[in-house]
Amino acid sequence: MAEKIIVVASTNEGKIREFREMLEPDGYTVKCLKDLPDYEEPEENGTTFAENAVIKAESVTKKYNIEAISDDSGLEIDAFDRQPGVHSARWLGHDTPYEIKNRTILEKMEGITDRTCRYVCAIAVTGPDHEPVVFEDTAECTIAYEPAGTNGFGYDPIMYYPPAGKTMAEMTKDEKNEISHRGKAVRRLEQWLKERNA
Protein backbone atom coordinates (compact mmCIF):
# COMPACT_ATOMS: atom_id res chain seq x y z
CA MET A 1 0.00 0.00 0.00
CA ALA A 2 1.35 3.42 -0.97
CA GLU A 3 2.50 5.70 1.79
CA LYS A 4 -0.07 8.36 2.60
CA ILE A 5 1.77 11.66 2.98
CA ILE A 6 0.23 14.96 4.02
CA VAL A 7 2.24 18.16 4.08
CA VAL A 8 1.19 20.61 6.77
CA ALA A 9 1.97 24.09 5.50
CA SER A 10 3.33 25.36 8.81
CA THR A 11 6.51 25.82 10.82
CA ASN A 12 4.62 26.04 14.14
CA GLU A 13 5.94 23.11 16.17
CA GLY A 14 2.90 22.95 18.46
CA LYS A 15 0.50 22.92 15.53
CA ILE A 16 2.48 20.28 13.61
CA ARG A 17 2.63 18.09 16.72
CA GLU A 18 -1.16 18.23 17.10
CA PHE A 19 -1.67 17.28 13.44
CA ARG A 20 0.72 14.34 13.85
CA GLU A 21 -1.09 13.15 16.98
CA MET A 22 -4.41 13.21 15.17
CA LEU A 23 -3.51 11.99 11.66
CA GLU A 24 -0.68 9.48 12.14
CA PRO A 25 -3.02 6.93 13.85
CA ASP A 26 -4.96 6.97 10.54
CA GLY A 27 -1.82 5.90 8.70
CA TYR A 28 -0.67 9.29 7.41
CA THR A 29 2.93 10.47 7.40
CA VAL A 30 2.78 14.15 8.35
CA LYS A 31 5.49 16.38 6.92
CA CYS A 32 5.93 20.12 7.38
CA LEU A 33 7.50 23.09 5.59
CA LYS A 34 10.92 22.32 7.06
CA ASP A 35 10.86 19.07 5.07
CA LEU A 36 10.49 20.93 1.75
CA PRO A 37 13.44 22.45 -0.15
CA ASP A 38 13.51 26.20 -0.88
CA TYR A 39 10.06 26.93 0.50
CA GLU A 40 9.14 30.58 1.05
CA GLU A 41 6.14 31.38 3.21
CA PRO A 42 3.50 33.43 1.37
CA GLU A 43 2.03 36.65 2.67
CA GLU A 44 -1.10 35.84 4.65
CA ASN A 45 -3.23 38.73 3.43
CA GLY A 46 -6.65 37.10 3.67
CA THR A 47 -9.40 38.71 5.71
CA THR A 48 -10.71 35.42 7.11
CA PHE A 49 -9.16 32.28 8.64
CA ALA A 50 -10.39 30.27 5.65
CA GLU A 51 -8.76 32.60 3.11
CA ASN A 52 -5.41 32.49 4.89
CA ALA A 53 -5.53 28.70 5.19
CA VAL A 54 -6.11 28.38 1.43
CA ILE A 55 -3.28 30.84 0.65
CA LYS A 56 -0.79 28.80 2.68
CA ALA A 57 -1.84 25.39 1.40
CA GLU A 58 -2.04 26.51 -2.25
CA SER A 59 1.48 27.95 -2.09
CA VAL A 60 2.76 24.43 -1.35
CA THR A 61 0.55 22.73 -3.93
CA LYS A 62 1.52 25.15 -6.70
CA LYS A 63 5.27 24.95 -6.04
CA TYR A 64 5.63 21.21 -5.42
CA ASN A 65 2.57 19.81 -7.21
CA ILE A 66 1.51 17.89 -4.08
CA GLU A 67 -1.48 17.82 -1.77
CA ALA A 68 -1.14 20.08 1.23
CA ILE A 69 -3.17 21.07 4.27
CA SER A 70 -2.91 24.27 6.19
CA ASP A 71 -4.69 25.57 9.21
CA ASP A 72 -5.20 29.18 10.04
CA SER A 73 -6.43 29.64 13.54
CA GLY A 74 -6.69 32.25 16.20
CA LEU A 75 -8.45 33.83 19.11
CA GLU A 76 -11.58 35.97 18.93
CA ILE A 77 -12.43 37.98 22.06
CA ASP A 78 -15.97 39.34 21.99
CA ALA A 79 -15.18 42.35 24.21
CA PHE A 80 -12.44 43.33 21.74
CA ASP A 81 -14.73 43.18 18.69
CA ARG A 82 -13.43 39.64 17.96
CA GLN A 83 -9.82 40.75 17.89
CA PRO A 84 -7.02 39.68 17.55
CA GLY A 85 -8.75 37.33 15.06
CA VAL A 86 -6.73 36.59 11.92
CA HIS A 87 -3.86 38.62 13.40
CA SER A 88 -3.55 36.33 16.46
CA ALA A 89 -0.05 35.06 15.62
CA ARG A 90 1.23 38.51 14.64
CA TRP A 91 -0.56 40.43 17.40
CA LEU A 92 1.95 42.53 19.42
CA GLY A 93 4.64 41.24 17.06
CA HIS A 94 5.29 37.78 15.64
CA ASP A 95 8.31 37.20 17.91
CA THR A 96 6.65 38.47 21.09
CA PRO A 97 6.43 35.58 23.60
CA TYR A 98 2.91 34.35 24.28
CA GLU A 99 3.52 34.86 27.98
CA ILE A 100 3.59 38.60 27.25
CA LYS A 101 0.62 38.42 24.86
CA ASN A 102 -1.43 36.53 27.45
CA ARG A 103 -0.50 38.94 30.23
CA THR A 104 -1.44 41.90 28.00
CA ILE A 105 -4.87 40.38 27.30
CA LEU A 106 -5.49 39.82 31.03
CA GLU A 107 -4.54 43.44 31.77
CA LYS A 108 -6.84 44.75 29.03
CA MET A 109 -9.66 42.54 30.38
CA GLU A 110 -9.52 44.00 33.89
CA GLY A 111 -12.98 45.23 34.87
CA ILE A 112 -14.65 43.64 31.81
CA THR A 113 -17.43 41.20 32.70
CA ASP A 114 -18.02 39.77 29.22
CA ARG A 115 -15.07 37.39 28.94
CA THR A 116 -16.53 35.19 26.18
CA CYS A 117 -14.13 34.21 23.45
CA ARG A 118 -13.39 31.39 21.09
CA TYR A 119 -10.64 29.65 19.25
CA VAL A 120 -11.39 29.41 15.51
CA CYS A 121 -9.68 26.95 13.18
CA ALA A 122 -10.00 26.72 9.41
CA ILE A 123 -8.23 23.82 7.69
CA ALA A 124 -7.74 24.00 3.93
CA VAL A 125 -6.86 21.05 1.72
CA THR A 126 -5.42 21.84 -1.70
CA GLY A 127 -4.18 19.50 -4.39
CA PRO A 128 -3.15 19.46 -8.03
CA ASP A 129 -6.37 17.68 -8.98
CA HIS A 130 -9.08 19.34 -6.89
CA GLU A 131 -10.42 22.70 -5.79
CA PRO A 132 -9.56 23.90 -2.25
CA VAL A 133 -11.73 22.34 0.47
CA VAL A 134 -12.09 24.08 3.86
CA PHE A 135 -13.21 22.67 7.22
CA GLU A 136 -13.91 25.19 9.98
CA ASP A 137 -14.80 24.82 13.66
CA THR A 138 -14.60 26.61 17.01
CA ALA A 139 -14.05 26.03 20.71
CA GLU A 140 -16.15 28.38 22.83
CA CYS A 141 -14.27 29.54 25.92
CA THR A 142 -13.90 32.45 28.34
CA ILE A 143 -10.78 34.42 29.17
CA ALA A 144 -9.39 33.14 32.47
CA TYR A 145 -8.48 35.56 35.25
CA GLU A 146 -4.98 34.10 35.56
CA PRO A 147 -2.86 31.86 33.31
CA ALA A 148 -3.02 28.19 34.32
CA GLY A 149 -1.43 25.02 33.01
CA THR A 150 1.77 24.11 31.21
CA ASN A 151 0.44 21.94 28.38
CA GLY A 152 -0.54 23.30 24.99
CA PHE A 153 0.89 26.45 23.44
CA GLY A 154 -0.02 29.97 22.41
CA TYR A 155 -3.05 31.39 24.21
CA ASP A 156 -3.95 28.04 25.83
CA PRO A 157 -3.08 29.10 29.44
CA ILE A 158 -5.77 31.82 29.42
CA MET A 159 -8.40 29.92 27.41
CA TYR A 160 -10.79 28.60 30.07
CA TYR A 161 -13.19 25.90 28.86
CA PRO A 162 -16.23 25.99 31.21
CA PRO A 163 -17.55 22.42 30.62
CA ALA A 164 -14.19 20.99 31.73
CA GLY A 165 -13.55 23.55 34.48
CA LYS A 166 -9.99 24.11 33.30
CA THR A 167 -7.91 25.97 30.75
CA MET A 168 -6.73 24.42 27.49
CA ALA A 169 -3.21 24.34 28.95
CA GLU A 170 -4.43 22.25 31.90
CA MET A 171 -5.88 19.56 29.66
CA THR A 172 -4.22 16.33 28.58
CA LYS A 173 -3.53 15.93 24.86
CA ASP A 174 -6.56 13.66 24.47
CA GLU A 175 -8.86 16.01 26.41
CA LYS A 176 -7.79 18.97 24.30
CA ASN A 177 -8.04 17.16 20.95
CA GLU A 178 -11.56 16.06 21.86
CA ILE A 179 -12.94 19.59 22.29
CA SER A 180 -10.49 21.95 20.58
CA HIS A 181 -11.21 23.96 17.46
CA ARG A 182 -8.40 22.14 15.66
CA GLY A 183 -9.45 18.72 16.92
CA LYS A 184 -13.00 19.19 15.65
CA ALA A 185 -11.85 20.57 12.29
CA VAL A 186 -9.34 17.72 11.88
CA ARG A 187 -12.12 15.17 12.47
CA ARG A 188 -14.07 16.78 9.61
CA LEU A 189 -10.89 16.55 7.50
CA GLU A 190 -10.42 12.89 8.46
CA GLN A 191 -14.00 12.07 7.47
CA TRP A 192 -13.49 13.75 4.09
CA LEU A 193 -10.23 11.84 3.52
CA LYS A 194 -11.87 8.52 4.43
CA GLU A 195 -14.82 9.12 2.10
CA ARG A 196 -12.51 10.16 -0.70
CA ASN A 197 -10.21 7.16 -0.25
CA ALA A 198 -13.03 4.65 0.21
Domains in the chain, CATH or no CATH each? 4-197 (3.90.950.10)
pTM of the predicted model as reported, rounded to 2 decimal places: 0.87
Out of 72, 78, 95, 114, the active site residue is 72
For the segment 16-27, what is each residue's pLDDT rounded down to a tens digit?
988 898 888 888
Half-sphere exposure of 175 (CA within 13 A, CB side): 13
Cis amide linkage into residue 97, ω under 30° from 0: no
Residue 72 a catalytic site member: yes
Instruction: State pLDDT tens for residues 49-82.
Output: 999 999 999 999 999 998 899 999 999 999 999 9
